[in-house]
Chains A and B, each alone.
Chain A
Amino acid sequence: MPLANLRGRIAWIFDQENFDVDQIVGVKNIKITDVAALAKLAMQAYDPDFAAAVRPGDVIVGGGNFGYGHPHYPPLRALRHLGIAGVIAESFSPGFWRGEISMGTMLAACPGVLGIVRRWDEIELDWTAGEVRNLASGAARPIEPLAAADHLMLETGGLVPYLKRDRVASRA
């Protein structure tokens, strides 16, 4: 079954290639474990009013090879805490992809997405049609299909529920 569609606004666009996600909370804060504290720090370097402006279901858009470098988990924990529902990028770095899918973070690789969105546009991530649509302009770009295991992880909410469900299924 396809994943449920996601409708939300573009809360921020990181249009650069090879974006290092640690910048989202700032490298000096990367060891903070309290998610509320992390969320307060998130995006401060980009938009001090980010937390107030963002709504649950909003998404982040990224450029090519998003998550390059040595991605840590706290930045996306912070964004999820603020209500960010996922990241749509031109392409992802494998380490970031694997790490965040296992946390249940919705990721969609969508070559060309940067060309069809501006900040605060409302978009629909449509897994059935396999595309990202800009609801204001109507422009759309195809998304890359998910591997079966990645799909299951997003459907179940992450690595642990995915493995639990699979273990139950294999015993049945």
Chain B
Amino acid sequence: MGYTLAEKVLARVSGRDAVRAGEEVMAKPDFVVVYDFPGYTDVIFRQMKEDFGIDRLAEPERYAIFIDHMVPVATAAEEQLHIQTREWCQAHDVPLYERRGIGHQVAAELGYASPGAFVVHFDGHISQLGAFGTLAIGLRRNVLEAFVREHVSLKVPHTTRINLTGQLQPGVMARDVFHHIVRVLGPSSCRFQVMEVGGPGLDGISLEGRQVICGLAMFTGAITAVVNADALSRAYTDPRARLALPPVTSDPDAEYAAVHEIDIGALEPVIVVPPNPANTRNLADHIGMEVQAGYLGSCASGRLEDLRIAAQILKGRRVRDGFSLHVIPTSQEIMARAAEEGIISTLVEAGAFTSSPSCDYCYGRIAVLSSGQRAVSTGTLNVTGRMGNPDSEIYLCNAAAVAAAALEGRIADPRKYL
């Protein structure tokens, strides 16, 4: 039997010729990337020094820290956290990327998503680097292990393979594909596994779309997701990759825990109803429901194709009075490109609120909902209270559906505006 991408990557980084799913290894991450956040980085910095007596990192270039949450700051205490992070990075020669966008996206732009690399973070949405053939795993607080020694302990995960077939219809996006996978396979279908996505249906999905699908993998129970690198992803990573590794892809005869075929050719736009990301429904069944706010952004949207389709829908039209639409490009690189294309002016003229990239719209730090309000959102999550108020509701959908709802103040089918 052949090997999966995950088995091959983990064999290399644990210094073994080959490993199989289920084996326990000590794996050396090629990159350790985190964003500064209270309870995580501040605690890690303190524990390194106080509990482990570590003043220097052996290979600081393996680490990268992003400032993307609490941007811009709202309190002096938040700025103090960022100051501490800046000082720590300077003292430890660790690269710091501040205000360049949501770290999971910026990490790809900066080449940390090298194909075949092994990356760890505390945040599970780092799985989106899998779009480029990178094995990227969120360890929660266990990421401390990667700061106090070279290797992290890991059980080599099994892989579930999902072959997509069919081509997406207009107005149906990668975001719908992911939530459809959850609907078909279930929220624990890939528990503790790698979700590997491929098949001819992927041909019609952009790299940005692959980032979306991989980035949300945790809601299938997966610990990460990958797409085998191909010409499309290589064209993006070749000029950017920080590590040039021999090509690594799953063997055709790799041993998978399960193989599923999912036809996306007849897929309709979906909506994920509260209170959790397991609740995928057809958007069509919720048309007309009043909503007061819309968020287009996060590490699971807010990229060029999302901004383009929103602009296409909003062009020459107006956001409904009283509806709060926030459209936040995911990185500065994306924002600059959108500005060049005239997308930003189209959005602004339609009445959208836009800002420089920030994670803060996604987790209820700003643009909070009031009690009784409902939002449509491309944020990562619809759990109760995620947008700052436990008495509000969040409906997840694709970027086009957020734009369409903004026009009507109700859930609407975006395809009539395309």
- Nearest residue in A to B189 (C-beta to C-beta)? A65
Residues of A within 8 A of B192 (CB): 94, 97
User: Chain B 118-159 against A: per-residue CB contact (8 Å), 1 yes, 0 no?
Assistant: 000000100000000000001111101100110001110000
The interface centre, meaning the residue of B188, B191, B383 with most chain A CB atoms within 10 A of its CB, is B188
B276 close to A (CB within 8 Å):
yes
> Is A18 interfacial (CB 8 A cutoff)?
yes
A98 to B139, Cβ gap below 8 A? yes
Cβ contacts B311-338/A at 8 Å (1 or 0 each)? 0000000000000000000000000000
Q: Mark A11-32, 1 if CB is under 8 A from B, else 0.
A: 0000001101010001110100
CB distance from B120 to the nearest CB of A (A): 12
The yes or no answer to B277 lying at the interface (CB within 8 A) is: yes
Pick from A27, A68, A159: contact of B390, CB below 8 A: A27
Cβ A94 vs Cβ B223 within 8 A: yes
Number of interface residues of B (CB under 8 A): 37
Rounded to whole angstroms, the CA-CA distance of A22 and B383 in the bound complex is: 10
Determine, out of A2-10, A48-56, A118-126, A160-168, the stretch whose residues face the partner at the interface: A160-168
Once the chains bind, are B141 and A159 in contact (CB under 8 Å)?
A: yes
| In the assembled complex, A93 has its CB within 8 A of some CB on chain B | yes
> Is A115 among interface residues, defined by CB-CB distance under 8 A?
no
Contacts of A20 in B (CB 8 A): 275-276, 383-384
CB atoms of A147 and B24 under 8 A apart: yes
B142: which A residues are within 8 A, CB to CB?
A: 98, 102, 159
Q: Is A64 an interface residue (CB 8 A)?
A: yes
User: B153 to nearest A CB, angstroms?
Assistant: 4
Given A28-B390, A163-B52: A65 and B191 interface contact (C-beta under 8 Å)? yes
Interface of chain B, helix or strand or loop or mixed?
A: loop
Are B155 and A147 touching (Cβ within 8 A)? yes
Q: Are B390 and A95 in contact (CB under 8 A)?
A: no
How near does chain A come to B168, taking the closest CB pair, in angstroms? Answer: 27
Residue B187 lies at the interface, judged by CB distance under 8 Å to chain A: yes
A149 interface residue, CB < 8 Å from B? yes
Q: Which residue of B39, B47, B191 has the most chain A CB atoms within 10 A of its CB atom? A: B191
Q: How far is the CA of A155 from the CA of B124 in the complex (A)?
A: 26
Question: In whole angstroms, how far apart are the Cα atoms of A94 and B222 in the complex?
Answer: 8
Q: Which residue of A lies closest to B142 (CB)?
A: A102
Q: Which residues of chain A have C-beta atoms less than 8 A from B154's C-beta? A: 149
Are the CB atoms of B141 and A99 closer together than 8 Å?
yes
Question: In this complex, what residue of B is CB-closest to A101?
Answer: B142
Asked whether, in the complex, the Cβ of B188 is within 8 Å of the Cβ of A68, the reply is yes
Q: Let me know if B201 is at the binding interface, CB within 8 A.
A: no
- Across the interface, A159 reaches (CB within 8 A) one of B124, B145, B275, B385, namely B145
Is residue B278 within 8 Å, beta carbon to beta carbon, of the partner chain? yes
Q: How far is the CA of A163 from the CA of B145 in the complex (A)?
A: 7
Residues of B within 8 A of A1 (CB): none
Q: Is A91 interfacial (CB 8 A cutoff)? A: yes
Smallest CB-CB separation from A158: which chain B residue? B141
B164: CB under 8 A from chain A?
A: no
Contact between chains at B52 and A93 (CB < 8 Å): no
Contact present for A93 and B278 (CB under 8 Å): no
Q: CB-CB < 8 A to B275: which residues of A?
A: 20
Residues of A within 8 Å of B188, CB to CB, are 17-18, 64-65, 68, 91, 93
CB of A160 within 8 A of CB of B51, answer yes
The answer to whether A102 and B390 touch across the interface, beta carbons within 8 angstroms, is no
Asked if B148 and A68 sit within 8 Å, CB to CB, the answer is: no
CA of A164 to CA of B145, assembled, Å: 10
B358 shortest CB reach to chain A, Å: 19
Q: Which residue of A lies closest to B51 (CB)?
A: A160
> Interface 1/0s, chain A 85-128, versus B by CB < 8 A?
00000010111011100110000000000000000000000000
> Chain A's nearest CB lies how many Å from the CB of B299?
14
Provide the bound-state CA to CA distance between A102 and B122, in Å. 12
Q: Once the chains bind, are A27 and B383 in contact (CB under 8 Å)? A: yes
> Cβ of B383 and Cβ of A163 under 8 Å apart?
no
Q: Chain B residues with Cβ under 8 A from A99's Cβ?
A: 140-141
Q: Which residues of A contact B141 (CB under 8 A)?
A: 99, 102-103, 159
The 3 closest A-B pairs by CB, nearest first: A149-B153, A27-B385, A65-B188
Q: A22-B385, A163-B52 are in contact. List 13 more A-B contacts (CB 8 A).
A: A17-B187, A18-B188, A27-B385, A27-B390, A30-B385, A65-B221, A70-B383, A91-B191, A93-B221, A94-B192, A95-B140, A99-B140, A102-B140
- Residues on B lying within 8 angstroms of A by beta carbon are 24, 39, 47, 51-52, 124, 138-142, 144-145, 148-149, 153-155, 187-188, 191-192, 218-219, 221-223, 275-278, 381, 383-386, 390
